[in-house]
Amino acid sequence: MDKRTHNLIFLVALGLTASLTFAQTRPGEARAKQEFLKKLVAAAGERTHHVVRYDPAYVRIPYLGGDVPADTGVCTDEVIRSYRAVGIDLQKEVHEDMEQNFSAYPRHWRWLSGHPDKNIDHRRVPNLMVFFSRKGETLAITQRAEDYEPGDLVTWDLGGGVPHVGIVVDQKSATSGRFLIVHNIGQGPKMEDILFNWKISGHYRYFGPPK
């Protein structure tokens, strides 16, 4: 056997070994992701037992693990608190990514900020949309309810430049058969059948930072 043939056989064998290893690890990774989504969905559902007054005011909060008063918040705070319940601090993750990639994030004239702000950046829907698209999975926006699964993050355009965000959970509407959404649009955290109530602007899945 000449050297060229030997090298070719070695590369093919190496490729087969890598493929087998990948095939063996994928089911485990898939199970871990499904388990994570179950925990996230449970955390989102638990949020509906809290009384929260809708309050979008700017508040200085600690870093890390900072939060506005527990009895106040907006739509993003339900996402933040749900992820915190499963060990992921979006305040930290968003802030670190914005510090390193500030130009990738939207600059809104109303925010009057030319630099990252760890008090508020993670509480803004447009920032979360960029973050989830950069660090998570961007999924298709469709009009098929079955494309939206428990643990998915959905953003909407309410009109007039007002964004909104919620988490798909594993309970279904008795009338439409669609998975319900946990969100806060002004009456505190609710679990409701609102998937197609407004124009969907984003659809994501986020499992946290690499381990």
Report the range of poorest mean pLDDT among 3-7, 42-46, 102-106, 205-209: 3-7
Q: What share of the chain is helix, strand, coil (3-state, %, to 5)?
A: 45, 15, 40
Bridge partners (DSSP) of residue 138 are 204
What pLDDT is stored for residue 139 in this prediction?
98
Mean pLDDT of the chain: 89
Nearest residue to 195 via CA among 159, 141, 134: 141
| Confidence category of residue 26, pLDDT binned at 50, 70, 90 | confident
| Confidence category of residue 5, pLDDT binned at 50, 70, 90 | very low
Nearest residue to 148 via CA among 197, 115, 85: 197
What pLDDT is stored for residue 22 in this prediction?
38
Q: pTM of this prediction?
A: 0.86
Residue 169: both structure tokens together: 């959970």
Report the range of poorest mean pLDDT among 26-35, 134-143, 155-164: 26-35
Strands 153-157, 199-205: pairing kind: antiparallel
The pLDDT of 43-61, averaged and rounded, is 97
Let me know if domain 12-205 sits in CATH 1.10.357.10.
no
Cα 34 from Cα 29, distance rounded (Å): 9
Written as one letter, the residue type at 109 is: W
Cα 3 from Cα 9, distance rounded (Å): 10
pLDDT at 168 over 90: yes
The more confident residue out of 32 and 26 is: 32
Cα 81 from Cα 91, distance rounded (Å): 10
Sign of CA dihedral 39, 44, 46, 52: positive
The more confident residue out of 81 and 19 is: 81
Cα 190 from Cα 73, distance rounded (Å): 13
**What residue spans define the domains of the chain?**
12-205
DSSP string computed for 141-180:
--S-GGG--TT-EEEEE-STT-EEEEEEEEEE-TTT-PEE
